[in-house]
Amino acid sequence: MLHASDARRVAVVLNAGSRRGAASTAQVRRLLADSPFADLSVDEVSDPRRLPDVIAERVGQQVDLLVVGGGDGTISCAADHVAGTAVTLGVLPLGTANDFARTLQLPTDLGSAVHTLVAGKVVDVDLGRVDGRAFLNVASVGLSVGVTERLTPGLKKRLGPLAYPVATLAAYRHHEPFTARLEFPDGDHEPRELTDLLQVAVGNGRHYGGGNAVSPTASLDDHLLDVYAVVRGRLRDHLRIVGGLKDGRLVEHEQVAHVTTRRVRVVTDPPLPVNLDGEVAALTPAEFAVERNAVHVVVPLATDTVRLDGERAG
Which CATH number fits the domain that encloses residue 279? 2.60.200.40
pLDDT of residue 252: 81
In a domain, 176, yes or no: yes
Q: Mean pLDDT over residues 146-161, rounded? A: 70
Q: What per-residue confidence (pLDDT) applies to 247?
A: 77
CA angle 72, 77, 78 (to 5 degrees): 100
Confidence of residue 243 (pLDDT cuts 50, 70, 90): low
In a domain, 263, yes or no: yes
- Would you state the pLDDT for residue 16? 84
For residue 307, is it within any domain? Answer: no
Same domain, 141 and 121: no
**Is 168 within 8 Å of 60 (Cβ atoms)?**
no
pLDDT recorded at residue 4? 80
Same domain, 106 and 144: no
Verify that 88 and 208 share a domain, yes or no: no
Among 96-110, 224-238, 268-282, the least confident range: 224-238
Residues marked as catalytic? 279
CA-based nearest residue to 106, from 217, 227, 205: 205
Q: Which domain holds residue 278?
A: 133-291
Give yes or no for residue 296 having a pLDDT over 70. yes
Q: What is the mean pLDDT of residues 291-312?
A: 91
pLDDT tens sequence across 45-63:
988 889 999 999 999 998 9
Residue 31 lies in a domain: yes
Strand partners, 94: none
Shared domain check, 282 and 168 = yes
Are 222 and 95 found together in one domain? Answer: no
201 and 277 together in one domain: yes
Please state the rounded mean pLDDT for residues 250-277. Answer: 91
As for how many domains the chain has, the answer is 2
| Most confident of the following: 69-73, 154-158, 240-244 | 69-73
Q: Residues of the chain with pLDDT > 90: what percent?
A: 58
pLDDT tens digits along 174-233 = 678 899 999 999 999 999 999 999 889 999 999 987 788 889 999 999 999 999 998 876
The answer to whether position 304 is within a domain reads no
- In a domain, residue 311? The reply is no
**Residue 234, pLDDT score:** 61
Residue 305 lies in a domain: no
Half-sphere exposure of 291 (CA within 13 A, CB side): 20
Q: Are residues 73 and 198 in the same domain?
A: no
pLDDT at 235 over 60: no
CB 85 within 8 A of CB 59: yes
Three-state secondary structure string covering the chain: CCEHHHCCEEEEEEECCCCCHHHHHHHHHHHHHCCCCCEEEEEEECCHHHHHHHHHHHHHCCCCEEEEEECHHHHHHHHHHHCCCCCEEEEEECCCCCHHHHHCCCCCCHHHHHHHHHHCEEEEEEEEEECCEEECCEEEEEHHHHHHHHCCHHHHHHHHHHHHHHHHHHHHHCCCCEEEEEECCCCCCCCEEEEEEEEEEEECCCEECCCEECCCCCCCCCCCEEEEEEECCCHHHHHHHHHCCCCCHHHHCCCEEEEEECEEEEEEECCCEEEECCEEEEECCEEEEEEEEEEEEEECCCCCCCECCCCCCC
**Residue 237 — very low, low, confident or very high, per pLDDT cuts 50/70/90?**
low
pLDDT at 198: 86
Q: For residue 188, what pLDDT is reported?
A: 97
pLDDT at 171: 65
Query: In this structure, are 271 and 153 located in the same domain?
Result: yes
Residue 125: strand pairing partners: 295
Q: Are residues 51 and 99 in the same domain?
A: yes
Predicted pLDDT at 181: 98
The per-residue pLDDT for 157 is 67
Do both 199 and 246 map to the same domain? yes
Q: Are 201 and 303 in contact (CB under 8 A)?
A: no
For residues 221-247, give the mean pLDDT: 74
Which pLDDT belongs to residue 174?
Answer: 67
pLDDT of residue 119: 93
Contacting residues for 173 by C-beta, under 8 A, at least 6 apart: none
* Whether residue 161 has pLDDT greater than 70: no
- Residues 141, 254, single domain; the answer is yes
Residue 209 lies in a domain: yes
175: left (phi over 0), alpha (psi -120 to 50) or beta: beta
The verdict on 115 and 50 lying in the same domain is yes
